[in-house]
A and B are shown apart, each in its own frame.
Chain A
Amino acid sequence: MMMENLDKNFEVLYHERSLHVEVIRTGKQVLYRVMSADGQMALFLTRAKDAEGYYFWTSIPEGRQQLAEEIGVLIEAYIQSSS
């Protein structure tokens, strides 16, 4: 599976910390790589569909659900505001 980095990186503000978000497209799927400036936070997020068909934010791999939901909302807001 090949991945492609898109030139659509941006920043979001999370609890007064600036997070760098890198958009990565793999096939038809989109991943968001989130990095803090001090390198302390590095995680991958994506939007997934639950069993009822509703979208939710999740970390890849599992284990950072709360963070995924909180930062995912910020990413979504950025994308909506810039589209």
Chain B
Amino acid sequence: MCYYNGVRVTRAEFIRLKQLEKAIAKLNFLNKPLLIGFEYTNAPVLKRVAGRQDFEITEMEWGFLPPYLKNREAASKFRHGYKDDSGRFHPPITTLNAVGEELLLPGKMYRDAALHRRCLVLSSGFYEWRHVHPLGKTGKPLKTAVKYPYHIFLPGQEVFFMAGIWQAWTDKDTGETVDTFAIVTTAANKLMEQVHNSKKRMPVILTEDLAYEWLLGDPDEERIKAIATAQYAADKMSAYPIAKDFRSALDPMEKVEYPELAPLI
């Protein structure tokens, strides 16, 4: 006999319920093959249930919002930038990603979340741009790069975990409260160095053991930093080019051949 949610069930029923857990993890991806960060959309996230060794699957708004932002107007200015009364432009602050190496630095916006509100972002794959500088008439690379989007995934793993941190945010005008999150990033591995070759960064992809520790463990600061900068093995990842207009494509994950594009090594 087994227990599920504290109720005694047969082993067969227990297995069925566990299979449903896996099916739920895939649900959002079957309906939504592409999440675009700059649309500040909702995404499926695993969040710890306060005070318990348990988690729930919930949806959070992608784009970490610090609590000091008073309302949606302030949040929009924060995310998109704005001109003040004197005409001076204040550039946007992008909080879709949080740099793993800097998470715990004193005074950092993400420090408290990294210590107390870590989460797992469910992903079935992600997208990055490879910058290629074609040769000009002089034989030297042109300054302007041609950008090729790539779909990156883990072969054999339909769904995997990215390290995230979250922050509840309240619009003080309306009382609306939402959970917002950022994906933690680290230095690119050998594969991602070639794909995301402009910034050489990648999301922190966690193995099941590290995912458990990140979400439900009690890591000290040193350990949090170690997990937040973990680099997933390049030989367990794969990438292929996709259509340049993939954001509006019916199947954004469809492979596209570019004859001029050198293959990844």
Contacts and interface: CB of A to CB of B under 8 A. Distances in A.
A5 to B, nearest CB: 7
B23 A3 contact: yes
B24 A60 contact: yes
Contacts of B10: 49, 51
A16 interface: no
B262 interface: no
B4 interface: yes
Contacts of B177: 38, 40
B54 A61 contact: yes
B22 A48 contact: no
B57 A26 contact: no
Interface residues of A, number: 29
A44 B56 CA distance: 9
Interface stretch (A7-15, A62-70, A75-83): A62-70
The SS class assigned to the B binding surface is mixed
Interface string B1-25: 1001111111001001101111110
B140 interface: no
Interface string A37-52: 0111011101011110
A4 to B, nearest CB: 9
A26 B177 CA distance: 31
Interface stretch (B26-34, B100-108, B119-127, B181-189): B26-34
Nearest to B10: A51
A40 to B, nearest CB: 7
Contact of B55 (A42, A48, A58, A63): A63
15 contacts: A3-B23, A3-B30, A26-B20, A31-B20, A38-B176, A39-B42, A39-B178, A42-B57, A42-B59, A46-B20, A48-B7, A48-B17, A56-B7, A58-B17, A60-B21
Given A3-B27, A31-B23, A65-B6, 15 more contacts: A3-B26, A31-B20, A39-B42, A39-B59, A44-B24, A48-B7, A48-B13, A49-B9, A49-B13, A50-B7, A50-B8, A51-B10, A60-B21, A61-B24, A64-B56
Interface of A: 1-3, 5, 24, 26, 29, 31, 38-40, 42-44, 46, 48-51, 56, 58-65, 68
The 8 closest A-B pairs by CB, nearest first: A63-B54, A65-B5, A51-B8, A42-B58, A58-B5, A62-B5, A1-B23, A61-B21
